[in-house]
Amino acid sequence: MSVASLWVRSLTEKALRHAFANLLPGKDFENLYLAARARSSADWLVGINASQALSIAAGTGVYSLGRV
């Protein structure tokens, strides 16, 4: 199965027509996907560990740190 990506910079009719006429191969965006996945994992790992460390250091209560 092949995937095509629609890459638009504007939502004007002219820009949308141009984007649909020039669909890009999904494979061209694989590195963007992998980078986003890595950031998501890093955010979770840092946030969950920082939240636990802050809660332990505070002594009472449960605190959330980061985007967790």
Where do we find the tokens 């332990």?
56
Could you tell me how far CA 2 lies from the centroid of its own chain? 22
Question: pLDDT class for 68, splitting at 50, 70, 90?
Answer: very low
Q: Which amino acid is at 11?
A: L
Instruction: Report the C-alpha gap between 18 and 31 in whole angstroms.
Output: 24
Per residue in 29-49, pLDDT (tens digit) is 999 999 999 998 888 888 788
Vertex 41: Cα angle to 62 and 56 (nearest 5): 20
What is the domain partition of the chain in residue ranges?
4-58
Q: Which amino acid is at 55?
A: S
Question: pTM (2 decimals)?
Answer: 0.56
